């Protein structure tokens, strides 16, 4: 999935996968921070794949 999104030109910073056990709250905080930082690093880039036009049935 990630590979194809990247192939299409979505930045890799936009999709993250992780594996955290329910006891690993520290890891959760850690990954959450990293994901946010990655997303913030894209702040100057235009968002893609956003549907701007209204839905048509």
Partner 1 sequence: MSDKNPKILSFLCNWCSYGAADLAGVSRMEYPSNIRVIRIPCTGRMSPKFILAALRQGADAVWVSG
Partner 2 sequence: MKSYTDNIKEISKRLLKEDKVDMVIGYRTGSVPLMHQPFFAQNQEEVDEFVWDSNCGLNLANYITDRTERIGILATGCNSRNIAVHIVEGKIKREQLYIIGIPCKGMVDRHKLSAMADGDITSVEDENNGSITITGQNFSKTVDKAEVLQENCSVCVHRNPVIYDELAAEEVTEQKRDDVDPYARVKEIEALSPEEKWAHFDDLLSDCIRCYACRNACPLCYCPLCFVDESNPQWVGKSIDHTDVRTFHFLRAYHCAGRCTDCGACVRSCPVGINVRDFTKKLEKDCLELFDWEAGLNTEQRPPLDTYRPDDPEEFIK
Q: Residues 33 to 52: which contact partner 1 by CB under 8 A?
A: 33, 35-36, 38-40, 42-44, 47-51
Contact 45, 11 (CB under 8 A): yes
d(CA 50, CA 24): 34
Six-digit token string for 17: 């996968």
SS3 13: helix
Question: What residue 43 binds from partner 1, partner 2, none (CB within 5 to 8 A, per partner kind)?
Answer: partner 1
Judged by CB under 8 A, which of 3, 7, 9, 19 binds partner 1?
19
Shortest Å distance, C-beta 28 to partner 2? 11
């Amino acid at each position: 999935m990630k590979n194809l999104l990247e192939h299409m030109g979505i930045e890799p910073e936009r999709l993250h996968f992780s594996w955290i056990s329910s006891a690993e709250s520290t890891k959760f905080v850690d990954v959450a921070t990293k994901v946010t930082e990655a997303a913030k690093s894209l702040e100057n880039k235009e968002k893609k794949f956003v549907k701007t036009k209204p839905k048509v049935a």
